Amino acid sequence: MRIKVHAVGVNFAELVQLSGNFQIPVDLPAVPGFELSGTVTELGAGVDGLSLGERVAALVCWGAYADEVVVDAVTVAAVPDGADLDTAAAFPVAFGTAFMCLHHRAQVKANDVVVVSGANGNVGHAAVQVARQLGAVKVIAVTRDGTETMAHADAVLASTDKLASQIADLTGGHGADVILDLVGGAIFPQLLEAVAWEGRVVTAGYASGDIPDISLLDVLIRNIAVLGEDIAAYTVREPHRVGDALRTCVGWWRQGAVEPRPPVATMPLEDAAKALTMVAQASAGGKIVLSANSL
């Protein structure tokens, strides 16, 4: 499928791509970028469910920083009528990652207690909502200071050395059946302590900049599982699964069940270096999208 690009979401992982240290190698010259929105201009043989001129969002492993892209149609979803295409460009990575972490890796089920660290970030904000849609009986959001209000969370806690005991108090001593950690660093021991018997921890990011070490003895004696999730690898190895995740989440968006966070700024594609510098310096204040000025 060929897509005329409207906007591209900017992510920290693109800095890793450009550094040459990305976990999925590519021959140079390489075009970075994981997510985009735009309109369909050409369909390959056998593609169905989408039509020429349709507004779409896509999740890719490379190549989103462009005016036009050709992508595997299985990783594309139609954008809801009336939805803002800038917001749509910022949707795939956040909600795709959240869904793959909670549904595919952790297999969240009804009556699970789910904890999301880094819940004020883009993926965390999506994950709180995805957990609720998957049937979690209680969703606990963890942020740096715990002062935020989140409509889909039952409680918002601060990242402190009392976090494990607070989670225990909120769950009647049961603990968390599933924890999605997007922060790493000093908070991780507290999260590990808060996992319920036979609980699952998914690690999918290290916003703290510190990758934690764990004791396998803790994993063994409490019969817990520690799982990893890398959305980029899934786009390469299992693109159909990624596409299903994206289309499920877009379906919830269409129904009004989830509310994607709009970007804080839209910058021209020519200013990609400036936007990435802001992300590297943590001065963006939220999600940035790059406009390809194609619509």
Q: Do domains 2-90+233-291 and 108-229 have the same CATH topology?
A: no
* pLDDT at site 295: 46
Task: Report the largest interatomic distance among the alpha carbons of the chain, rounded to a whole angstrom.
Answer: 57
Q: How far apart are CA 197 and CA 174, in angstroms?
A: 8
Please tell us whether the domain made up of 108-229 is placed in CATH 2.40.50.110: no
Domain ranges of the chain: 2-90+233-291, 108-229
pTM of the model: 0.95
* pLDDT at site 82: 92
Judge contact between 261 and 238, C-beta under 8 A: no
* pLDDT at site 29: 85
Task: Note if the bond before 29 is cis, omega within 30 degrees.
Answer: yes
Give the start-end residues of each E strand in the chain: 2-9, 35-42, 55-59, 68-70, 76-78, 113-117, 138-143, 155-158, 176-181, 195-203, 225-228, 265-268, 288-291
* pLDDT at site 293: 67
* pLDDT at site 23: 86
Query: Residue 176 to residues 9, 80, 172, 228: CA-CA distances in angstroms?
Result: 32, 34, 11, 17
Which regions in the chain score pLDDT beneath 70?
293-295
Query: Which fold is adopted by the domain 2-90+233-291?
Result: Quinone Oxidoreductase; Chain A, domain 1 (3.90.180)
Half-sphere exposure of 284 (CA within 13 A, CB side): 26
* pLDDT at site 150: 87
Residues constituting the chain: 295
